[in-house]
Amino acid sequence: MSSIAELAKDYEKCARYWIKITILFPDRYDFFTTTATFLALTNKNCEAESFLKSALKLNPNYSPALFNLGFLKQKKNDHSTAVIYFSQSIDNDPKLDRAYFGRGISYMKINKYDLAIKDFNKTIELQPYGPHAYYYLCIIMNRTKRNSEVKKIIDKLLNFEPQIANQLKKELNL
């Protein structure tokens, strides 16, 4: 039933189904994380956080729950706490490119540009054709007056994501 609701983008209904599923399967931390995902899609972030914390009580090293907690904290502009959750997620799954990207965004928001650059570069290493890490890397390089790096990144983007490259040129007045 949840799959049908998901196809219809009725995330409220999905969340209700998954809440019932967690009652039936109280030891399945992955089900708690899925429930939290649908709650977050309906902007029920406090409830989502509660389900993620329940998942982590069952499995403290479950990277998807840690990542999603980081994302929720990021949405609340609690970037220092988000960095902690993203870092724990990375510790448990060093190939989770989304966690490096999320942590990079939080580092950028708290002006830790060198750490953000490192995370965006790791994101690119793991996901070389994902344009978003390149985008934010350009933004930071521009803020820190590394104009030659900005040009190199845009030139690289032109090869596989020209729309983003042109958007950057426009935004950065290049």
Q: How confident is the model at residue 7 (pLDDT cuts 50, 70, 90)?
A: low
**Residue 163 resides in a domain:** yes
**Residue 118 resides in a domain:** no
What pLDDT is recorded for position 2? Answer: 60
**Residue 153 resides in a domain:** yes
**Residue 132 resides in a domain:** yes
DSSP for the chain? -HHHHHHTT-HHHHHHHHHHHHHH-TT-HHHHHHHHHHHHHTT-HHHHHHHHHHHHHH-TT-HHHHHHHHHHHHHTT-HHHHHHHHHHHHHH-TT-HHHHHHHHHHHHHTT-HHHHHHHHHHHHHH-TT-HHHHHHHHHHHHHTT-HHHHHHHHHHHHHH-HHHHHHHHHHTT-
Tokens at residue 42, please?
């309906």
What pLDDT is recorded for position 160? Answer: 94
What digits encode the pLDDT tens for the residues 20-38?
A: 999 999 999 999 999 999 9
> What is the count of structural domains for the chain?
1
What pLDDT is recorded for position 6? Answer: 72
User: Where is average pLDDT lowest: 2-16, 80-94, 118-132?
Assistant: 2-16
- Please report, rounded to a whole number, the percentage of residues in the chain having pLDDT higher than 90: 91
Per-residue burial over 26-46, b if 16 or more Cβ lie within 10 Å, else e, is eebbebbbbbbbbbbebebbe
- For residues 135-148, give the mean pLDDT: 95
- For residues 37-66, give the mean pLDDT: 97
Asked if pLDDT for residue 60 goes beyond 80, the answer is yes
DSSP for 36-51? HHHHHHTT-HHHHHHH
What pLDDT is recorded for position 10? Answer: 84
User: Where is average pLDDT lowest: 52-56, 83-87, 168-172?
Assistant: 168-172
**Residue 1 resides in a domain:** no
Domain that holds residue 157: 128-174
**Residue 69 resides in a domain:** no
- For residues 147-165, give the mean pLDDT: 94
Q: Which residue has the tokens 């109280």?
A: 26
Task: Read off the pTM.
Answer: 0.91
**Residue 46 resides in a domain:** no
The Cβ of residue 15 has, within 10 Å, a number of other Cβ atoms equal to: 25
**Residue 141 resides in a domain:** yes
